[in-house]
Every structure is written in structure tokens, then in C-alpha cells.
Structure 1
């Protein structure tokens, strides 16, 4: 896995907000890959204008905790770093774009 594409809620839809390719510890990355393999989808979940060659789409069922420095002018995360998956019961603070 090179990076995760990230989405955030905007009303009732999901929008692409960038990717995260750092912060993965080896054991956590293997576990994450196992979880993602169960969620593979043939269709994109969000509108994505980037390179599509190696993208594996998954159903949006996992909540990642990501640390970042700022938002860019085009609503993407800057300097994102993966911290781990959140428990599904701990999603009250999931960021929603206005």
C-alpha cells in the first residue's frame, strides 16, 4: 500500500480530501490491508481526478484518524499522517466539511 485516499462527509455525501502515505507502522499497515481487502469495490466512492492506475476502491466503512497541518485552498489536507483506525463506536468527532 502506497497511500490511502481520504474522504470527508459533506452533508449526505463523501468528498475526496487528499491522501495519506506516512505514519504507517508495519504491523498496523498489514492489519489495515487485511481490513481493506474485505471492502474492495469496483466503483469509486468519491469523485477523484487523480491518477487511477493503481487505485483500489473500497467501501467507506472504516474511520481513520489522521493528523494534518492545514487545509489547502482547494479543500485538501496538507501534510497528513496516519495515526490509526478509530473504533466504530468512537466516531462522534468525525470531521464534516461545511
Structure 2
């Protein structure tokens, strides 16, 4: 399998990336669950590609962790989600799209 076909896993923990890529088995890693070894095999086979992603750029955090408003805006922007242009006096979003009556 080519790297462009491999499943990319973005990870912000460089230690875990090193552990997966290191073929040696150490005493300190004997407790690791069998699922970890599955990922290690898939990386070795080229089916999975681990890629480092800085914690501040981890898009998954937007929906999985409590983050600041500034970080929320930053990650939302990375996903291509734009903020509403303006809000009406009632607090509803004003939309320039044409309105259609619903019967």
C-alpha cells in the first residue's frame, strides 16, 4: 500500500509516535493493550501513517475537549466554518439568502 493510500492518524504526542515506530519491545511497554500492537503492525505494513500534529492545531479537540473561545474560533476557522456576518436585534442571525414561504 502506498503512503497516499494509507490511513493518516494525526497525533500530538511525540512519545506515542516514537513508541509505535520503535520495533523493540521494552519491559516498560509490556502492559500496553493488544490494540496498540495492532496499530504498530499496520504502521509497519504501511496501511497506517502516523503524523505529528501540534496540540494547538488538533482539530478533533474542537468537539472533544473544553477549549477557550479563542482556540474554538481558531479551530473552527481551520475547518472552514465561518462566523455569521451579523445578528438581528432579536439575536437571530440575519441571512442574505432569499426567503421562501412555507405552507
- Give TM-score scaled by structure 2 length: 0.20
Q: Which has the larger radius of gyration?
A: 2
Which one has a larger percent strand, Structure 1 or Structure 2? 1
